[in-house]
A and B are shown apart, each in its own frame.
Chain A
């Protein structure tokens, strides 16, 4: 296991670089995993949604299990993250917006079989069709933000 670093006075610049490097590496593991599990292929996702292949449950299950362990154990075993001051939490809320947002997200996902991660990762795997989905997602995020006052 990683032990908490005791060099609290480490140069911030070095830590900023380490954070960037580890963020890139974390993204790369994510992208490699999405590719290996064929989640970047919309046909496979649509196959799951049409009950012909249950693989997506294993992908989700494996990812949630490892994440659960890290999210539960790290804050108990470590005073702070290796390269930063504290662990963040992103609280979710159940309200009208979450319900509508999730419902619309599902309609879109059921239509094209692409969600945000695979839309980005697919480009690295030379699947340029996914640029259409990426453009759609960016436009959707723009429209959602644009319709807000603040």
Chain B
């Protein structure tokens, strides 16, 4: 019991329920439209609206950019429902400096698109369709993320939440 609590100092129910809701969204999208709902593709497909370079004009981006943007809008909407309905609209902040978000974000965007998937594409959709390349991708990014987060915490200690 004590060791269980130490694994989840903020409780565990909201994590499991949130995960099930995320899965329900991905499942609903598949059952109703047949679409595989990873999140990182929208960052490439949306560029196809403004960039004529052949890479961005591939059918896999142009043909999916519309629904991917709608899906992303849904993401914002769902978060807004939570924020206004359950969190009382209290201001949220990351507590992280801008450069860290910008640089980390750049690597996240570049890496996710080079590797064709992120935590939702490889993690949820890839594992959900039992694809071993996605499992390898998940193990790889988990390993480098653990390493980076701990090295960074060691090199530049910041107050823990």
A residues contacting B by CB (< 8 A) are: 2, 18-20, 22-44, 46-47, 49-50, 52-56, 58-72, 74, 78, 80-94, 97-117, 119-127, 129-130, 132-146, 148-150
Instruction: Tell me how far the C-beta of B49 lies from the nearest C-beta in chain A, rounded to whole angstroms.
Output: 12
B77 to chain A, nearest CB (A): 5
Is the beta-carbon distance between B102 and A89 smaller than 8 angstroms? no
Q: Which of B47, B83, B121 is A142 in contact with, Cβ under 8 Å?
A: B47
In the complex, chain B residues 37-64 whose Cβ is within 8 Å of any chain A Cβ: 37-40, 42-44, 46-47, 51, 53-56, 58
* Best-buried of B56, B100, B103, B109 by chain A (most CB within 10 Å): B109
A-facing residues in B1-51 (Cβ within 8 Å) = 7-10, 12, 14-40, 42-44, 46-47, 51
Pair count A-B, CB < 8 A: 541
Please determine whether A70 and B150 come into contact, CB atoms closer than 8 angstroms. Answer: no
CA distance A20 to B35 in the complex (A): 12
Chain B contacts for A106, CB-based, 8 A: 111, 140-145, 147-148
| Residues of chain A with a CB closer than 8 A to B145's CB | 49, 106-107, 109-110
Q: In the bound complex, do residue A60 and residue B19 qualify as a contact, i.e. CB atoms below 8 Å apart?
A: yes
A17 to chain B, nearest CB (A): 11
A121 lies within 8 A of B75 (CB): yes
A144 to chain B, nearest CB (A): 4
Give the chain B neighbours of A114 by CB distance below 8 A.
94, 101, 104-105, 108
Q: What CA separation (Å) do A94 and B126 show in the bound complex?
A: 12
Within 8 A of A (CB), among B106-154: 106-134, 136-138, 140-150, 152-153
